[in-house]
A and B are shown apart, each in its own frame.
Chain A
Amino acid sequence: MLGMGLVALVALPPAMNALGETYLVSLFSRILIYALVAVSLDLILGYGGMVSLGHAAFFGIGGYVVGILAFHSYEAEPLFTWPFIFEGTENGLLTLPLAMLVSAFFALIIGFFSLRTTGMHFIMITLAFAQMLYYFSVSLEAYGGDDGLSLYARNQLPGINLGDDDSFYYLCLGILVIYLYVSHRLVNSRFGRVIQGVRENERRMQALGFATYRYKLVCFTIAGAGAGLAGALIANQTEFVSPGLMHWTRSGEILVMVLLGGMGTLFGPVLGAIVLLLLEEVLAIYTEHWMVLLGPFLVVVVLFAKRGLYGLLTGRKP
């Protein structure tokens, strides 16, 4: 089934171009990017049992890294001159890793404070930190403040023309597949086993001699890096970044994707992203007020379909 899904995703651009539905290629690029951020959230949520309601913050940071670097590159004005001269850039080989690095750094700091708490506190604190970064981005007047920042072009990568929607789609697909593979290796490694042990019973893992706080912090940071990468891609896709990227409703949306698809699985969040975003598109055709339907739908999913779509399809428990 996974193979079929992958074949379908690979065959999507030529098929859609043949049908003349080119809009769907860019829609599916967006879906793949959201799938990436949902998978990264699932690392901490599904595997680590950490309910973060601030994951969009790292998504937004990744986007802003790309946006700000492109802005400085265009203005030909260095980002900073001390202690060394740092020029803006539109080279994807630099911007994508930098976006991951900066997001990971923020995740490290936020995780450092948030992971001191658990349960309800953790949810509210991650939410509050994300909101703090949101307001910070609103106050960045030099980079457009509330209105956001437009990019003049997508980043460049050697050998790939990202301006072409099909090529961009394949880049997103490739990155998602790599990220899924890395995550698969990660959750089945010793590290991943410890993280899952912490989810089940943190006190017992501590008694077994694991420094659980450190494991959780590393996991949180890795997830932040993944979200940053997705943010860098979305900035390229829309050629626009704004504080809206890290608004807390975005975090909620990503959380919904994970739960809808099935948390604690790697392909569940991908499925969740596809279904939720397609559902939004379809509902939006019929009514401008589609959220009035989506809201109760979520409530029903939570109350009656806890295992998510992946669980329903495969019959496996999360």
Chain B
Amino acid sequence: MLLILEQLMNGLQLGVMLFLMSAGLTLVFGIMQVINLAHGSFYMVGAYTAATVTQLTGSFLLGLLAALPAAAAVGMLVEAVVLRRLYSRDHLDQVLATFGLILFFNELTRMIWGRQPLFMDVPDWLSGTVELFPGAPYPSYRLAVIGMGILVAVFLYLLFTRTRLGMQIRAGASNREMIAALGVNIRFLYTLVFGLGAMLAGLAGVMAGPILAVEAGMGEEILILTFVVIVIGGIGSIRGALIAALLVGMVDTLGRVFLPGLFRLFLPVAEADGIGASLASMSVYILMAAILVWRPRGLFPAQI
């Protein structure tokens, strides 16, 4: 029972990270109609910046504060230099150009930081555990990650439904020409949205730092899962991204822990572990295929 609780929390934590990644990306997909493979690079930029600054200053908070603007700046630079020229092109061009960007960013980090992964320590004030339920200690760092995800979700909700900027972004998504004609600087707005998405990815990267290794190519691991989340949730929908991220996080985590055990009930141990592990690594994709058969446009297709 305690194991299940702990794994549920781990699933929630993975889901929150996926939400941070997919919230920004689904906006870029949905609003600008541009497919961006380089989103994982912003995640990587965030993680590397935070790891470096934390090592230099010894403060995780300073690392976080440095990483967010760094990721946002790289994102806006990429938008202004490359992606802006691709909005009117077809998806193939976007895929290829952003694929080129991935190669560039991965190799650049290898040149700057070397091939060895960096390791980030959990800050002292978050290194303890919290007893959520009697007898079930849970690392406070992971709890903080979950809390941060909830904060971001609330922030995005308020931004989109309660502010002028959010209104303009939604309007830009439904009719680009019209909002430009009404005097809104849509170009700048797009750059801003892109920077916001990159910053969220950078935030996810910072938080992943102490949990995973910080290395070149780390962005692509999570990028593919992010795509799965967006496809399941429906392109352009933040609400869909939230629900799908939690779903994917749960299925992935619980599958890895419990599927081998499930197969052991009726198969020899070695075979059960093998089949369970393979099935667990594919479970998320099977979930996606199943949902697509049922709803080809995802759970919450955005009205664009």
On A, residues with C-beta under 8 Å from B are: 45, 51, 53, 113, 116-117, 119-121, 123-125, 127-129, 131-132, 135-136, 138-142, 248-249, 252, 255-256, 259, 263, 289-292, 294-299, 301-303, 306
Q: Which residues of B contact A289 (CB under 8 A)?
A: 107, 110-111
Within 87-137 of B, Cβ neighbours of A (below 8 Å) are at 91-93, 95-97, 99-108, 110-111
Give the contacting residue for B292; candidates A116, A141, A249, A306; CB below 8 A: A116
The reply to whether B292 and A298 contact each other, CB–CB distance below 8 Å, is no
Is B189 interfacial (CB-CB < 8 Å)? no
Interface centre among A45, A116, A123 (most CB of B within 10 A): A123
Q: What are 11 inter-chain pairs, A to B, with CB distance below 8 A? A: A117-B292, A120-B235, A124-B35, A127-B224, A140-B278, A252-B37, A259-B92, A292-B111, A298-B97, A302-B93, A303-B85
A118 CA to B182 CA, complexed, in Å: 32
Chain B 262-281, CB within 8 Å of chain A: the 1/0 string?
00000000000010011001
Known: A121-B235, A124-B227, A124-B230. A259 touches B96 (CB 8 A): yes
The reply to whether A51 and B91 contact each other, CB–CB distance below 8 Å, is yes
In the assembled complex, the CB of B156 is this many whole angstroms from the nearest CB of chain A, namely: 21
Chain B 33-52, CB within 8 Å of chain A: the 1/0 string?
10101000000000000000
In the assembled complex, the CB of A117 is this many whole angstroms from the nearest CB of chain B, namely: 5
The reply to whether A302 and B296 contact each other, CB–CB distance below 8 Å, is no
The reply to whether B289 and A113 contact each other, CB–CB distance below 8 Å, is yes
The reply to whether B100 and A128 contact each other, CB–CB distance below 8 Å, is no
Q: Interface on chain A toward B: helix, strand, loop, or mixed SS?
A: helix
The reply to whether A53 and B107 contact each other, CB–CB distance below 8 Å, is no
Known pairs A142-B274, A249-B220. 18 more at Cβ < 8 A? Answer: A51-B91, A51-B92, A53-B95, A119-B91, A120-B33, A124-B230, A129-B289, A135-B281, A136-B281, A248-B224, A289-B111, A291-B103, A292-B104, A294-B100, A296-B104, A298-B103, A299-B104, A303-B85
Give the contacting residue for B100; candidates A129, A141, A297; CB below 8 A: A297
Known: A124-B227, A139-B278. A51 touches B95 (CB 8 A): yes
A298 CA to B96 CA, complexed, in Å: 7
Is B285 interfacial (CB-CB < 8 Å)? yes
The reply to whether A121 and B297 contact each other, CB–CB distance below 8 Å, is yes
Q: Of all chain B residues, which has the CB nearest A260? A: B96
Is B282 interfacial (CB-CB < 8 Å)? yes
A169 CA to B63 CA, complexed, in Å: 54
Is B158 interfacial (CB-CB < 8 Å)? no
Is B138 interfacial (CB-CB < 8 Å)? no
Q: Which residues of A contact B274 (CB under 8 A)?
A: 139, 141-142
In the assembled complex, the CB of A235 is this many whole angstroms from the nearest CB of chain B, namely: 21
What 9 A-B pairs have minimum CB-CB distances, sorted nearest first?
A: A295-B104, A298-B100, A132-B285, A295-B103, A139-B278, A291-B107, A135-B281, A292-B107, A295-B100
Q: Which residues of B contact A139 (CB under 8 A)?
A: 274, 277-278, 281
The reply to whether B285 and A131 contact each other, CB–CB distance below 8 Å, is yes
On B, residues with C-beta under 8 Å from A are: 29, 33, 35, 37, 82, 85-86, 91-93, 95-97, 99-108, 110-111, 220, 224, 227-228, 230-231, 235, 274, 277-278, 281-282, 285-286, 288-289, 292-293, 296-298
Q: Which residues of A contact B33 (CB under 8 A)?
A: 120
Give the contacting residue for B95; candidates A123, A303, A306; CB below 8 A: A123
Q: Which residues of A contact B230 (CB under 8 A)?
A: 124
Known: A139-B274, A141-B274, A294-B103. A302 touches B97 (CB 8 A): yes
In the assembled complex, the CB of B227 is this many whole angstroms from the nearest CB of chain A, namely: 4
Interface centre among B35, B100, B102, B110 (most CB of A within 10 A): B100
Q: Of all chain B residues, which has the CB nearest A46? A: B92
Q: Which residues of B contact A301 (CB under 8 A)?
A: 96
Q: Which residues of B contact A132 (CB under 8 A)?
A: 281-282, 285-286
The reply to whether B293 and A113 contact each other, CB–CB distance below 8 Å, is yes
Q: Of all chain B residues, which has the CB nearest A291? A: B107
In the assembled complex, the CB of B9 is this many whole angstroms from the nearest CB of chain A, namely: 24
In the assembled complex, the CB of A118 is this many whole angstroms from the nearest CB of chain B, namely: 9
Interface centre among B86, B102, B106, B285 (most CB of A within 10 A): B285
In the assembled complex, the CB of A282 is this many whole angstroms from the nearest CB of chain B, namely: 16
The reply to whether B231 and A125 contact each other, CB–CB distance below 8 Å, is yes
Q: Which residues of B contact A252 (CB under 8 A)?
A: 37, 95-96, 99, 102
Known: A121-B235, A139-B274. A299 touches B101 (CB 8 A): yes
The reply to whether A255 and B96 contact each other, CB–CB distance below 8 Å, is yes
In the assembled complex, the CB of B295 is this many whole angstroms from the nearest CB of chain A, namely: 10
In the assembled complex, the CB of B253 is this many whole angstroms from the nearest CB of chain A, namely: 15
Q: Of all chain A residues, which has the CB nearest B217? A: A249
Interface centre among B110, B282, B298 (most CB of A within 10 A): B282
A123 CA to B296 CA, complexed, in Å: 14
The reply to whether B103 and A125 contact each other, CB–CB distance below 8 Å, is no
The reply to whether A292 and B108 contact each other, CB–CB distance below 8 Å, is yes
In the assembled complex, the CB of A207 is this many whole angstroms from the nearest CB of chain B, namely: 21
The reply to whether B297 and A128 contact each other, CB–CB distance below 8 Å, is no
A127 CA to B228 CA, complexed, in Å: 9
The reply to whether A123 and B99 contact each other, CB–CB distance below 8 Å, is no
The reply to whether A291 and B104 contact each other, CB–CB distance below 8 Å, is yes
The reply to whether A129 and B285 contact each other, CB–CB distance below 8 Å, is yes
The reply to whether A306 and B93 contact each other, CB–CB distance below 8 Å, is yes
Give the contacting residue for A248; candidates B97, B220, B231, B281; CB below 8 A: B220
